[in-house]
Amino acid sequence: MEKEIVMTYAGLRALEDELEYLKTVKRKEVAEKIKVARGYGDLSENSEYDEAKNEQGLMEGRIALLEKMLKNARVVTEDELSNDTVSVGSHVRIKDEDGDEEEYDITGSAEADPLEGKISDESPIGAALVGHGVGDKVDISLPNGAVVTYEILEIGRSVL
């Protein structure tokens, strides 16, 4: 059985939009690049052709991955969200031992973007926070082996 991919509605829409773009716009662009590169002659020494074929392969791989993700997607509904415990779709404010505060949106792995403050429920921090409530202190094992304790200050809802 395929692994269920939990995501917010916004994450689902973003994947659908990317898939649509790749299938309608990008496929045509890459096909045109291949057609132009073929016109340069001998394919055995044609770097433009090789590059275009590689781009096509990567794009088709991404399309297949997106289709698989969408097939196995489960969107978190408003009814499933609670401000009592952290889950996918939560916006959480936490504080470390030094008093430094951080805020994250907890997402499914398909829509995680740490630079944007969106962390996966499967990441070390996200996995440790899920299921805990305001006031809980959570020990998080970091990839470098260190353990950091965070206190959950506030739980809200991410924009879905």
- What is the reported pLDDT for 10? 83
Against a cut of 0.85, is the pTM above it? Answer: no
Q: What is the pLDDT of residue 27?
A: 95
Q: Read off the tokens for 109.
A: 């792995």
Give the model's pLDDT for residue 159. Answer: 64
Query: pLDDT by residue (tens digit) across 105-121?
Result: 998 888 888 898 999 99
Range of lowest pLDDT (17-21, 37-41, 98-102): 37-41
Q: DSSP secondary-structure letter at 85?
A: B
33-37, 61-65, 91-95: the lowest-pLDDT one: 33-37
So what's the pLDDT on residue 24?
95
Say whether pLDDT at 31 is over 90: yes
> Please, what is the average pLDDT of the chain?
88
SS3 content of the chain, % helix, strand, coil (to 5): 45, 25, 30
Find the Cα–Cα–Cα–Cα dihedral 50, 51, 55, 60, rounded to 10°: 0
Q: Tens of pLDDT along 115-150?
A: 989 999 988 899 999 999 999 999 988 788 889 999
